[in-house]
């Protein structure tokens, strides 16, 4: 009877959907459910975010504000930092961070805390779905016991599922609505209810047999990318010694219509998923007495890329008779990928830390990030994005391209720079001054 009541509310779109965590994953999810016609609530611990949303403003550059303003004004979207109201929505979707701790083990404090907060107001008929990326077993072993402290029984009184987020910030082609959604329930009833909910907002729901399969699916997706990026990063270093351009090699290889998918090298991995998720799997494997050598080797290669970039930069300075200490270095781009304002796990910070340690005088420009945000793992000075003028470029001993934003005029940059270190092949179409460019 309880499940049938929730199923009816979902079918009629009267079920209220609450999204916990209004960041790069949660906010697009709110938009998708609003667009589908569901009343929504948004929960976040940051009162500044909540106030901006209540004012009809977006704090994420690639997410427009019109739908926020409309949703708040017509009462269909209510942002709040009052977690005492978690009992109001019929469905709660958890989109909180899952970082690594200092020893690169999973840090599940945000999932644990959220589960405990939900349990305080959990009522009959609520569906809880975890979307945060994590290792297989988290939903059943970590979240479920905390929810059951409410005294309610899963599968009868409340329902629990896992559905991994698949957001790609800044990608104009794919959004929450048109990316297939994998859904696995803690039990059959929970899985069916979660599938029914998501069918209203996404193009395709992909049901799997359990939460563990859905959790493992997400880890596989990002580990696959990490390993293949590590491969081309290692080949980049090898081919550079041989005088071969890895970018030209990849472009030639990708003409094969089968059996090859292009991955591209870079200055290191960034974002919340690829640099982190494979370590979740390695940690879990150790619990089962296994060593995931392939995954750990890929992690070693990818995390070594900032050192390689700095080495190439030092070599470029040496060619100009300049030591690193005292040299002025301008970093172009500190976002983890092009055309977004997301700095999470950006390799730019590791590179900047190493350059500062070597005595370089640093500045940066990023059209999407006006000031350096505080980072847990890096000790960097307060810096603000400088204007990209001919005078600024000429005053630098080296310009280092870390993020290849579309807003940059790379010919202009090369024209006015003494030395350009390019980690993204961003200068491929530059025609003048190519003698100033070094690939890294």
DSSP result, 89-140: -SEEEE-----B-TTS-B--HHHHHHHHHHHHH--TT-EEEE-S---TTHII
Instruction: Give me the pLDDT at residue 22, please.
Output: 95
Give the CA distances from residue 124 to residues 142, 156, 314, in Å, rounded to whole numbers and listed in that order.
Answer: 21, 8, 63
Instruction: Give me the pLDDT at residue 216, please.
Output: 94
Segment holding 405, helix H or strand E: none
Q: What crossing angle do the helices spanning 66-73 and 26-36 adopt, rounded to 10°?
A: 60
165: left (phi over 0), alpha (psi -120 to 50) or beta: beta
Distance of CA 96 to the CA centre of its chain: 12
Instruction: Give me the pLDDT at residue 284, please.
Output: 81
Instruction: Give me the pLDDT at residue 85, please.
Output: 97
User: One of 211, 217, 273, 398 is an active-site residue; which one?
Assistant: 273
Architecture label for domain 2-212: 3-Layer(aba) Sandwich (3.40)
Contact 401, 427 (CB under 8 A): yes
Full-model pTM: 0.90
DSSP 17: E
Contact 125, 106 (CB under 8 A): no
Instruction: Give me the pLDDT at residue 46, please.
Output: 94
Instruction: Give me the pLDDT at residue 36, please.
Output: 95
Give the CA distances from residue 314 to residues 231, 257, 329, 380, 397, in Å, rounded to whole numbers and listed in that order.
Answer: 24, 39, 11, 20, 11
**Pair of tokens at residue 285:** 């494997």
Contacts of 144 (CB under 8 A, 6+ apart): 154, 160, 186
Contact 369, 338 (CB under 8 A): no
- All residue ranges of the chain with pLDDT < 70 are 103, 169-172, 174, 176, 271-275
| CA separation for the pair 123, 111 (Å, rounded) | 19
Q: Of 303, 311, 228, 234, give the one whose Cα is nearest residue 269.
A: 303
| CA separation for the pair 253, 245 (Å, rounded) | 13
Instruction: Give me the pLDDT at residue 272, please.
Output: 65
CATH number of 302-439: 3.40.50.720
Q: What crossing angle do the helices spanning 293-303 and 211-242 adopt, rounded to 10°?
A: 50
Q: Say what percent of the chain tops pLDDT 90.
A: 79
Please check whether the two domains, 2-212 and 302-439, share a CATH topology.
yes
| CA separation for the pair 42, 292 (Å, rounded) | 38
| CA separation for the pair 410, 415 (Å, rounded) | 8
Instruction: Give me the pLDDT at residue 273, please.
Output: 67
Active site residue 273: yes
What ranges do the domains of the chain cover?
Answer: 2-212, 302-439
């Amino acid at each position: 009877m309880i499940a049938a009541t929730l199923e009816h509310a979902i079918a009629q779109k009267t079920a209220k959907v609450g999204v916990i965590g209004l960041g790069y994953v949660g906010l697009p999810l709110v938009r998708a459910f609003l667009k589908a016609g569901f009343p929504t609530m948004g929960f976040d611990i940051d009162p500044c975010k909540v106030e901006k949303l209540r004012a009809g403003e977006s704090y994420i550059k690639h997410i427009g504000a019109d739908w926020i303003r409309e949703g708040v004004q017509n009462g269909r979207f209510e942002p709040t930092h009052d977690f005492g109201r978690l009992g109001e929505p019929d469905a709660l979707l958890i989109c909180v961070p899952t970082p690594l701790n200092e020893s690169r083990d999973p840090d599940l404090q945000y999932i644990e805390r959220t589960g405990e907060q939900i349990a305080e107001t959990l009522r009959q008929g609520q569906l809880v779905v975890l979307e945060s990326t994590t290792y297989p077993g988290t939903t059943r072993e970590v979240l479920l016991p905390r929810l059951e402290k409410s005294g309610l029984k899963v599968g009868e009184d409340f329902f629990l599922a896992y559905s991994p987020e698949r957001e790609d910030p800044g990608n104009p082609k794919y959004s929450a609505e048109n990316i297939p959604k994998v859904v696995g329930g803690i039990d059959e009833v929970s899985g069916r209810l979660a599938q029914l909910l998501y069918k209203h907002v996404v193009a395709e729901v992909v049901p799997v047999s359990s939460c563990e399969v859905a959790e493992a699916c997400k880890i596989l997706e990002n580990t696959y990318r990490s390993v293949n990026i590590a491969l081309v990063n290692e080949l980049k270093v090898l081919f550079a010694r041989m005088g071969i351009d890895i970018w030209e090699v990849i472009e030639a290889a990708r003409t094969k219509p089968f059996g090859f998918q292009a991955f591209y090298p870079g200055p290191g991995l960034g974002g919340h998923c690829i640099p982190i998720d494979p370590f979740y799997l390695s940690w879990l494997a150790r619990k089962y007495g296994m060593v995931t050598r392939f995954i750990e080797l890929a992690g070693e290669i990818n995390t070594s890329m900032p050192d390689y970039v700095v080495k190439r930069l030092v070599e470029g300075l040496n060619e100009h008779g300049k030591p690193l200490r005292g040299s002025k270095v301008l970093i172009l781009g500190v976002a983890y990928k092009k055309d977004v304002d997301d700095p999470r796990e950006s390799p730019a910070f590791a590179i900047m830390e190493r350059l500062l340690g070597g005595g370089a005088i640093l500045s940066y420009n990023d059209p999407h990030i006006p000031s350096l945000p505080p980072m847990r793992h890096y000790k960097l000075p307060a810096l603000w994005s400088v204007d990209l003028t001919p005078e600024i470029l000429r005053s630098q001993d080296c310009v280092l391209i870390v993020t290849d934003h579309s807003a940059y005029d790379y010919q202009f940059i090369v024209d006015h720079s003494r030395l350009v270190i390019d980690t993204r092949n961003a200068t491929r179409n530059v025609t003048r001054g190519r003698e100033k460019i070094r690939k890294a």
